[in-house]
Amino acid sequence: MATTVLTATYNFSAYMIYLPIAITLTVLVSQFLFKNSKTFMVDIFHQKKDIAMATNSLFKIGFYLLNIGFALCIIEFFQIETIERLVVALSKKIGGFSIYLGVMMLLNLLLFLKGRKHALNKEKMVSNENADLEVK
Amino acid sequence: MFNVVSYIIFLSISSYITIDVGRRCYHEGKAYLKYLLHDEGLCLTINRILLGCYYLLNLGYIALSLTTWNKINSLEDMITVTAARVGSIILILCVLHYMNIFVLYFLRNKLTFK
């Protein structure tokens, strides 16, 4: 009976350490990312500020939902018997989650860069057409 | 006993997230509809109806998902099951949200050049 109580305590403390760390990590990363993505959004939407901000916060909501949902879905730990196991399991889970967050952030950044390039090309095309019309 | 507590935690967290996301999308959606429709009153009405449909759909699904819930015996089980359920609700919301963003992507010509 004593052993079951002991294992139960370790699992519980693992959850209590994992949850705040995962959620704070997500919040910090997405605040950082979306504070810096405003310049991209303004470029993508051709200096239309209101729609750029709206898109930025839509992406922010999506990012939060995806990452917090994933963090909650992978919460399940196996039975943890000793304190060493606890440390190993926690570091494995948190490390995996931070690698996942980093990959997500890179993907988002690539998406923004691609969209910006596309928008700038389009703008150049339109201005070239206008210049041609003026010459004629 | 644990089941009831987990129901209460699950319902409060997931309905809070659903309502908050809906309110934010409603707020941001006004800017898009203004570009797409060019009619202030109609756009506000459509936006409000969409918000109502969204609430009905998601809260209904959350309430339904209480029916398939296992027996919970300990505190750890309670945290695991509740967190996994809330996580799956959030992932469903996330899929819906990204579908929304893709729809906006298909409407992008109307949004940017007008």
pTM, two decimal places: 0.77
User: Which chain B residues are closer than 8 Å to A54 by Cβ?
Assistant: 28-29, 31-32
Number of structural domains in chain B: 1
Task: Residue B22: give the domain boundaries.
Answer: 2-112
**How many whole angstroms separate alpha carbon B19 and alpha carbon B93?**
11
Q: How far apart are CA A108 and CA A34, in angstroms?
A: 10
The boundaries of the domain holding residue A14 are 2-135
CB contact under 8 A, A48 and B112: yes
Domain count along chain A: 1
ipTM of the complex: 0.71
Instruction: Test B76 with A12 for CB contact under 8 angstroms.
Output: yes
Give dist(CA B26, CA B18) in Å, integer.
12
Q: List Cα–Cα distances, A80 to A65, A83, A94, B51, B84, in angstroms.
A: 29, 8, 16, 44, 19
Q: For A28-75, write each residue's pLDDT tens digit.
A: 999 888 888 888 888 887 777 888 888 888 888 889 999 999 999 888
Per residue of chain B (114 residues), give pLDDT as tens: 788 888 888 899 988 998 998 888 888 888 777 777 777 788 888 888 888 888 888 888 888 888 888 788 888 888 888 888 899 889 988 998 888 888 887 877 766 654
The C-alpha atoms of residue B92 and residue B18 are separated, in whole angstroms, by: 11
Rounded to a whole number of angstroms, the distance between the first and last alpha carbons of chain A is 92
